[in-house]
A and B are shown apart, each in its own frame.
Chain A
Amino acid sequence: MSEAAGAGRPGVGGPHDPSCPTSRGHPEGGAWIYRSDDGRSGWRAQGPIFLGTIVNHLVLDPRDGTTLLMAASTGHLGPTIFRSTDGGETWAEAAQPPAFPKGDAHGRAVNHTFWLEPGHADEPGVWWAATSPPALFRSADGGATWEGVSGLNDHPKIMDWLPPDGGTPDGAIVAGICIDPRDARHMYLATCSAGVLETTDQGETWRPLNRNVEASFLPDPYPEYGQDAHQIALAPSNPDRIWQQNHCGIYRLDRPSEEWERIGNAMPREVGDIGFSIVPHARCADTAWVFPMDGTDVWPRVSPGGKPAVYRTRDGGGSWERQDRGFPAEQGWFTVKRQAFCGDAADPMGLYLGTTGGEIWMSGDEGGSWRQIAAHLPEIYSVVAAPVR
Chain B
Amino acid sequence: MIRVMIPSQLTAYTGGETRIEAMGATVDAVLDDVDRQFPGLKFRVVDEQDRVRKHMRLFVGMDETRDIRTALRAGDELLIFGALSGG
Tell me if chain B binds chain A.
yes
Q: Which residues of A contact B (CB under 8 A)?
A: 27, 74-78, 80, 93-95, 97, 99-104, 107-110
B82 in contact with A78 (CB, 8 Å): no
When C-beta atoms are compared, the residue in chain B nearest to A94 turns out to be B40
Q: Is the CB of B9 within 8 A of A74?
A: yes
Contact A100 B45 (CB under 8 A): no
Q: Are A102 and B48 in contact (CB under 8 A)?
A: yes
Q: Does B44 contact A (CB under 8 A)?
A: yes
Q: Which residues of A contact B83 (CB under 8 A)?
A: 76
Q: Which residues of B, 56-87, contact A by the 8 Å Cβ criterion?
A: 56, 82-84, 86
The reply to whether A78 and B84 contact each other, CB–CB distance below 8 Å, is: no
**B45 x A77 contact (CB < 8 A):** yes
B11 to chain A: closest CB distance in Å? 12
Nearest chain B CB to A83 CB, angstrom units: 12
Alpha-carbon distance between A214 and B86 when the two chains are bound, in angstroms: 37
- Bound-state Cα–Cα, A269 to B39, Å: 55
Q: Is B19 an interface residue, CB under 8 A from the partner?
A: no
Question: Which A residues lie within 8 Å of B39 (CB)?
Answer: 93, 95
B49 touches A100 (CB 8 A): yes
Q: Is B51 an interface residue (CB 8 A)?
A: yes
**Structural contact, A77 and B82, CB atoms closer than 8 A:** yes
CB distance from B82 to the nearest CB of A (A): 4
* Residues on the B chain within 8 Å of A80, using CB: 40, 43-44
The answer to whether A76 touches B53, judged by C-beta atoms less than 8 angstroms apart, is yes
- With both beta carbons as reference points, the residue of chain B lying nearest to A107 in the complex is identified as B49
CB distance from B59 to the nearest CB of A (A): 15
Pick the contact of A77 from B50, B51, B53, B86 — CB < 8 Å?
B53
Q: Which residue of A lies closest to B82 (CB)?
A: A76
Complex Cα distance, B51 from A169, in Å, reads 22
Give chain A residues whose Cβ lies under 8 Å from the Cβ of B86: 27, 75
Contact of A78 among B7, B45, B50 (CB under 8 A): B45
**Which residue of the partner chain A has the closest CB to B84?**
A75
Q: Are A78 and B49 in contact (CB under 8 A)?
A: no
7 shortest interchain CB distances as A-B pairs: A109-B47, A76-B82, A77-B44, A99-B48, A75-B84, A76-B55, A78-B44
Contacting B56 at CB < 8 Å: which of A77, A97, A101, A109? Answer: A77
Complex alpha-carbon distance, A76 and B46, angstroms: 11
Q: Is B10 an interface residue (CB 8 A)?
A: yes
Complex alpha-carbon distance, A33 and B42, angstroms: 29
Q: Are A93 and B53 in contact (CB under 8 A)?
A: no
With A75-B84, A76-B56, A77-B82 known as contacts, the answer to whether A102 contacts B50 (CB < 8 A) is: yes
Question: 27 A-B contacts, Cβ less than 8 Å apart?
Answer: A27-B84, A75-B55, A75-B86, A76-B9, A76-B53, A76-B83, A77-B53, A78-B44, A78-B45, A78-B46, A80-B44, A93-B39, A93-B40, A94-B40, A95-B40, A97-B43, A99-B48, A100-B48, A100-B49, A102-B48, A102-B49, A102-B50, A107-B49, A108-B49, A109-B47, A109-B48, A109-B49
In the complex, A99 Cα to B49 Cα: how many Å?
9
Per the bound structure, the CA–CA distance linking A208 and B41 in Å amounts to 38
